[in-house]
Amino acid sequence: MLTSVDRLLFVRRIPIFEELRDDFIVRLTSVMDELRFPANHTIFRQGEEGRSLFIVISGRIKIHIEDRQLAVFTKGESFGEMAIFDAQPRSATATTLEPCECLELTQEQLYEAIEETPEISLNIIRALSRRIRNLNEGGHGRGKEDAVTR
């Protein structure tokens, strides 16, 4: 379990939250659930309704469509953002590669955060744009596993 100070220090380094005030991050992280998953656990499946994004605290999560791996997310990275905004089903499946811990931010929590601090939406747009740009460049930059995910 992360203490509130640990959560602040950890989440402050996440690209979609890095430009936000500490007091806002403290309030936001206080409502996030901290989840633990065993290895080979499916966090969400392609086609499911997406109502939350996840931030990796520890471990590795692969994003895949059937046997085709699209991305691997590790400590300090977020995934699942797109489904929160476009109200479409998840475009891929998220499965743990090893035991993992994640913070979960629900759509409702995120929308309340955006109402209070609209800059968060710009940070998310920037993060998603970087992923799309990386994918368009053939997956170079962060590694061949980077991709856009829902």
Mean pLDDT, 10 residues at a time, the chain of 150 residues: 83 80 83 95 95 94 95 92 81 96 91 82 79 72 40
**Do 1 and 103 meet the contact criterion of CB atoms below 8 Å apart?**
no
d(CA 30, CA 21): 14
pLDDT of 46 reads 95
d(CA 95, CA 60): 9
Distances (CA, A) of 119 to 19, 20, 47: 8, 8, 30
Tell me, what DSSP letter sits at residue 45? Answer: -
pLDDT of 139 reads 59
pLDDT of 142 reads 42
d(CA 100, CA 126): 26
How wide is the angle at C-alpha 15 spanned by C-alphas 13 and 16, nearest 5°?
115
pLDDT of 2 reads 80
pLDDT of 150 reads 45
pLDDT of 4 reads 79
Say which residues have a Cβ less than 8 Å from residue 27's Cβ, sequence separation at least 6.
Answer: none
Closest Cα partner for 25 from 49, 48, 44, 9?
A: 9
